Amino acid sequence: MAAKELYANVDAEALKADAADCMLHFGTEFEKDIITRAKGTSIYTADGHAMLDWTSGQMSCLIGHGHPEIVETISAHAASLDHLFSGMLSPPAIALGKKLTGLLPDGLDKAFFLSTGGESNEAAIKLAKSYTGKFEIVGLSASWHGVTGVAAGAQYHAGRTGHGPMMPGNLILPAPNAYRSIFRHADGTYDWQTELSYGFSLVNRASCGSLAALIVEPILSSGGMLVLPDGWLAAAKQHCAARGMLLIVDEAQTGIGRAGDWFAFGHDADAVVPDILTLSKTLGNGLPLSAVVTSNDIARTTREKGFLFYTTHVNDPLPTAVGLKVLEIVERDNLVAHSARLGGKFQSGLRILQARYGCIGDVRGRGLMAGLEIVADCETKTGAPEVAAAVADKMAKKGLWAQLSTMASFGGVFRLAPPLTTTEEELEKGLSIMEEALRETPGTMPLYGKVNGCNGSH
């Protein structure tokens, strides 16, 4: 049966009733629509309503849904080489390791492959603890790294309450937020250098002398698409080196071209190489695949120390074959350059909307990854999650899925990440739908014809 016909005649209301009866909630409300098809850059509800998917699933379908070469790769490996004993190696796992480390700079020389981003961060943190012989892990105050054990302990956006103590040794740095930080130069511009130094001074006071690693995302997506300022990673690595810590960079969402570079840690002119890199989401294009990549020195030392992270699906053939195909397609079709070029138009289009609607307090991001923060007052920066929710609902009805999480902690920030295969026509269509939704939703504060406004509009 063709994929597009697989769930063509479902009873959506009956499915919703069954879901209410049997589906366990995991921390967020389910969306009201049942999705029965995903193809290319769009998803479709049970009643046939099409929406451009500007979150790429869960920020994962980098080259769109149902890409024919990905479908072919899955089918071939499901039929001939799907899953093996964990200690066995296969051609696709080795080929993905060779391809990935070949794309990365020296110092990221050895890789292994797991299933989820949380799992890869769990492994990376354990690797850092093994190498350094220390146990304290520093995370950013708006971070999201996973919901398991030490990964959850290193994140501060959400998920820390209701289940007893976290792993010991978790410390916190202020997340860079140019829009809201209280650290300012005399002219009002963001002073991230002082903020970072102050944060590490607090880490020094809180530490028991066993600092192992700092884990960061180049763009904190769940934190509200907060972009690390130019130079931040290099300065952070200097702080880490002075304390004998490793730097772990989590590129679950930014990796493989999403933010306009192959890897976001390499964006700055003074780019530094992390000690450990984790990838997930985009690497598998929606399939559960993640990677941990590190240096020859860390790999050798931790092997000698008996490092163990043995899972059922480590280096599985089928998902690693998909990851290899994703890298091949992104490279062959010049999708990183496409992301940078189309991303420039994307960011510009969002800033035009900001100039037209006073509810858009801030636009931030890079490449095809952006955040819109919706506020009730652009002077006080008071959030307006109810306005954001109304705009999101209007967008969905008009044919654009632009996710606004139902978790209150997201605070009215749209997190946008269209597939890298998005065309200029689709980009313009999505931006047009956003404008229509903003124009038709109460509380968005149109600035047309006004000479004053927080966004410098006329």
Structural domain contains residue 458 = no
Is-catalytic flag, 106? no
User: Are 321 and 360 in a shared domain?
Assistant: no
Residue in 122, 195, 415, 426 annotated catalytic = 415
Q: Which domain holds residue 46?
A: 3-60+335-440
CATH number for the domain including 348? 3.90.1150.10
Residue in 136, 155, 253, 364 annotated catalytic = 253
Q: Is the pLDDT of residue 313 over 90?
A: yes
User: Are 162 and 287 in a shared domain?
Assistant: yes
User: Are 251 and 223 in a shared domain?
Assistant: yes
DSSP alpha helix (H) spans, 1-139: 12-22, 56-59, 68-80, 91-103, 117-132
User: Are 312 and 373 in a shared domain?
Assistant: no
Any idea what DSSP says for residue 25? P
Residue in 250, 275, 316, 426 annotated catalytic = 250
Please check whether residue 281 is in contact with residue 301, taking contact to mean a CB–CB distance below 8 angstroms. Answer: no
Structural domain contains residue 399 = yes
What are the beta bridge partners of residue 250? 278
Where is the domain boundary, 299, 332, 365?
Answer: 332
Q: Is the pLDDT of residue 456 over 60?
A: no
Residue in 53, 119, 144, 275 annotated catalytic = 144
Query: Which pLDDT score is estimated for 126?
Result: 98
**Other Cβ atoms closer than 10 A to 174:** 17
Structural domain contains residue 451 = no
Identify the H or E element spanning 38. Answer: strand 35-39
Residue 451 banded pLDDT, cuts 50, 70, 90: very low
d(CA 38, CA 125): 35
Print burial letters for 31-46: b (CB count within 10 Å at least 16), e (below 16): eebbbbbbebbbbbbb
pLDDT digits (tens, 9 = 90+) for 74-89: 999 999 999 999 999 9
Query: Could you give the C-alpha distances from 405 to 223, 347, 388, in angstroms and in order?
Result: 12, 21, 10
pLDDT digits (tens, 9 = 90+) for 83-136: 999 999 999 999 999 999 999 999 999 999 999 999 999 999 999 999 999 999
Residue in 129, 237, 243, 281 annotated catalytic = 281
Query: Which pLDDT score is estimated for 368?
Result: 98
d(CA 265, CA 234): 10
Is-catalytic flag, 281? yes
Axis crossing angle, helix 232-242 with helix 192-206, rounded to the nearest 10? 30
Residue in 217, 261, 316, 426 annotated catalytic = 217
Where is the domain boundary, 291, 310, 332?
Answer: 332
d(CA 249, CA 261): 15
Return the amino acid letter for 312: T
Query: How far separated are the first and last CA of the chain, in Å rounded?
Result: 55
User: Are 134 and 43 in a shared domain?
Assistant: no
Structural domain contains residue 445 = no
Q: Is the pLDDT of residue 155 over 50?
A: yes
User: Are 264 and 278 in a shared domain?
Assistant: yes
Distance of CA 243 to the CA centre of its chain: 28
Candidates 357, 417, 364, 363; CA nearest to 387 is: 357
CATH number for the domain including 194? 3.40.640.10
Is-catalytic flag, 193? no
Write out the two tokens for 373. 């923060």
What would the mean pLDDT of 265-269 be, rounded to a whole number? 92
User: Are 126 and 174 in a shared domain?
Assistant: yes
Domains: count for the chain: 2
Residues 327, 329, 333, 339: is their CA dihedral positive or negative? negative
Residue 157 banded pLDDT, cuts 50, 70, 90: confident
Is-catalytic flag, 58? no
Write out the two tokens for 372. 């819109």
Is-catalytic flag, 217? yes
| Burial label, 429 (beta-carbon count in 10 A; 0-12, 13-18, 19+) | middle
Distance of CA 128 to the CA centre of its chain: 22
Is-catalytic flag, 237? no
What are the beta bridge partners of residue 45? 35
